[in-house]
Amino acid sequence: MKCRHCHSVFGLAPGEEVIDLGVLPSTARLIRPAELTQTEPAFPLRVLGCLSCGLVQRTELFSSPPPGRDAGESLALGRRRAPAHDRDYLEAALSLLRLDPGSQIVQFDAGAGELLGLFVDQIMGCTAVLSDIGSAHGSPSPGIDRIEGVFDRRAAQRFVADRGRVDLVIIDNRLEQVADPHEMLATAAELLADRGAVSLEFPHLLATVRGHQFDAVRHERSLYLSLQSLERMLARHELAVWDVQTLPDEGGSLRVWAGRQSSRRTPERSLYRMRESESLASVGSPALYAGFQTQADRIRDALLAFLRAEKNAGRRVAGWGACARGITLLNYAGIGPELIEYVADDSPQRQNTWLPGSRIPVVPEARLRDTPADVVLILPWTRRDELIERLTPLCRPGTRFVTALPTLTSA
């Protein structure tokens, strides 16, 4: 296997391995009733760090996991958007960029265009661009054009010839999922106006490792990005970062603003602070993720011991949230319906299915009221406080809410 950035060959040298979760099924889709008798394909889930350039990346797959068929099944690729997140992004863009009613904005794989819809409300010309890593989920918001299919450098050249260059390119949790990240960055650079900006959001490698978030590892995520690795990749396309913002999303994310090197924007202090933080944490070096595997095994073993103790005591355990993180956690720990009776979820598209691998049934939230559990394991633990507040009225008094990461916690 070669590095996706510098093309160095991985040779299983000491320090290359970040984590190895074994052979697991894909998190990209749920199991439908007609598929319960079928054998699920499974794939190695192993992450390596390049000793030459520091880029952390999943090993190559010999075959591709089947994609989800709809929005309800796209657990890893179609994360649930929070309206507050989109409003925050709009405010940030308007404060940092000189956007006006004639501005042109492109978002890769924009779903139904919820974020772009906010820009349309500001009377700006917006175009949603769907790349080949996902499919359209619903009809686009009014006033938004949609270009479906593969959007590569050639398509970008045609776009510029027809419509002109773009003031803002939005890449929101997409770069780390594509097979060829440099193709996506080259496409963004092709679109960009001289003073245009490209924004990228992604789970921050430093937060992932510091928080022992091995459940963030999945087949659908090819890269595990830091600011350092992203800057090296952007430089190949003559793009440079000028601002960085930290976000709580996905257990700790970065929102990075970049533009053409020729625009010579003055870097913000936040950029220097993040560079220093990553340097002090040894980002780009095996020292960063030394012990990551050990912590994953510790969390797995602690959860298994807890669930077995609850079962032996005769207490009923349920889960909440048919999410990619939960699927990785449960499958790595080898947990099935013998320890967790069901997983409740508020999405109708996900209900009446089964989690891949563990084959735990996914049921409507009302099951928590009709078949009460003594313990509810919250699988999307990054939303812990919000979910405890919302689920408490639905559960019987005395129900304990548990999260497994970053350490086993009960409330």
**Predicted confidence (pLDDT) per residue in 187-213, tens digit:** 999 999 999 999 999 999 999 999 999
Residues 237 and 367 grouped into a single domain: no
Last residue of a domain, one of 224, 257, 290: 290
What pLDDT was estimated at residue 71? Answer: 38
Number of structural domains, the chain?
2
What pLDDT was estimated at residue 394? Answer: 94
Sheet holding 125-129, edge to edge: 145-147, 125-129, 104-108, 166-172, 192-203, 253-260, 239-247
State the Cα torsion 120-240-159-225 to the nearest 10°: -80
* Tens of pLDDT, residues 45-55: 999 999 999 99
Contact at 8 Å (CB) between 55 and 236?
no
What average pLDDT score do residues 308-334 get? 97
Contact at 8 Å (CB) between 52 and 35?
no
CATH code, domain with 182: 3.40.50.150
What pLDDT was estimated at residue 139? Answer: 58
Q: Is the pLDDT of residue 83 over 50?
A: yes
SS3 309: helix
Distance between CA atoms of residues 229 and 26, nearest Å: 26
374 — pLDDT class (breaks 50, 70, 90): very high
Distance between CA atoms of residues 156 and 160, nearest Å: 6
Residues 131 and 84 grouped into a single domain: yes
Residues 240 and 214 grouped into a single domain: yes
What average pLDDT score do residues 276-303 get? 97
DSSP alpha helices (H): ranges in 281-375? 292-312, 324-333, 367-370
SS3 403: strand
Of 118, 8, 30, 17, residue with least CA distance to 59: 17
Q: With both helix axes pointing from N to C terminus, report the angle between 292-312 and 324-333 in degrees, rounded to the nearest 10.
A: 80
Q: Is the pLDDT of residue 308 over 70?
A: yes
Residues 98 and 186 grouped into a single domain: yes
SS3 43: strand
Tokens 């699920």 found at: 40
111 — pLDDT class (breaks 50, 70, 90): confident
Give how far the C-alpha of residue 268 lies from the chain's centroid of Cα atoms, to the nearest Å. 26
Among 125-139, 185-199, 298-312, name the one with the lowest average pLDDT. 125-139
What pLDDT was estimated at residue 80? Answer: 60
Domain that holds residue 374: 293-410
Task: Provide the greatest CA pair distance for the chain.
Answer: 69
Q: What is the mean pLDDT of the chain?
A: 90
Distance between CA atoms of residues 48 and 29, nearest Å: 25
Last residue of a domain, one of 290, 307, 329: 290
Last residue of a domain, one of 235, 258, 290: 290
Quote the tokens at residue 304. 């298994």
134 — pLDDT class (breaks 50, 70, 90): very low
SS3 175: helix
Give how far the C-alpha of residue 183 lies from the chain's centroid of Cα atoms, to the nearest Å. 19
What pLDDT was estimated at residue 195? Answer: 93
Residues 130 and 233 grouped into a single domain: yes
Quote the tokens at residue 67. 């994609």
What pLDDT was estimated at residue 204? Answer: 98
What average pLDDT score do residues 304-325 get? 97
Residues 70 and 124 grouped into a single domain: yes
Residues 285 and 297 grouped into a single domain: no
Residue type for position 356: P
Q: Is the pLDDT of residue 16 over 80?
A: yes
Residues 239 and 305 grouped into a single domain: no
Residues 118 and 172 grouped into a single domain: yes
CATH code, domain with 364: 3.40.50.720
Q: Percent of the chain at pLDDT above 90?
A: 78
Residues 265 and 321 grouped into a single domain: no
Distance between CA atoms of residues 354 and 375, nearest Å: 20
Residues 234 and 325 grouped into a single domain: no
Residues 205 and 332 grouped into a single domain: no
Contact at 8 Å (CB) between 49 and 9?
no
